[in-house]
Amino acid sequence: MSVQDKKAIEVRGFLQLDQVFKKRNWPVPLLIDLEKPITGIELAEKLEIPIDEIEIIFVNGFAQSLHCIIQPGDRVAFVPPGCPGPYRMALGFYSKNQENKFSFTLKDKKEEQ
């Protein structure tokens, strides 16, 4: 655990969010002070990451839904739709992402229908 301050959380963004983070000149990982526990949704909103661009979040190495409570000191990563392979099953993505229809159909393709 590289978090020095137990109030801080480590945050990472994968796939296209990696570039979003870097364009904002955020370090890897981004450290954010947290005074009290918040949900993944609240953290995404705080960082201005659209909810429908997130399939799951990792919290301390486990795939979780956006409703998961993040505690000060946690390690968090946002994962957009697009993780390939049976790892979507083996890491438990499928029980966490059912609310986001864009986990299964690309946003622009869905809007075309």
What residues make contact with other proteins under the rule CB under 8 A?
A: 2, 12, 14-16, 18-19, 28, 55, 58, 61-63, 77, 79-95, 102-106, 109-110
Q: Which of 66, 53, 60 is nearest to 96 (CA)?
A: 66
Least distance CB 65 / other proteins (angstroms): 12
Least distance CB 102 / other proteins (angstroms): 7
Q: Whose Cβ is closer to other proteins: residue 35's or residue 90's? A: 90
d(CA 21, CA 44): 12
Q: Whose Cβ is closer to other proteins: residue 35's or residue 107's? A: 107
Q: Which of 38, 40, 31 is nearest to 6 (CA)?
A: 31
d(CA 52, CA 10): 22
Q: Whose Cβ is closer to other proteins: residue 10's or residue 36's? A: 10
Least distance CB 72 / other proteins (angstroms): 18
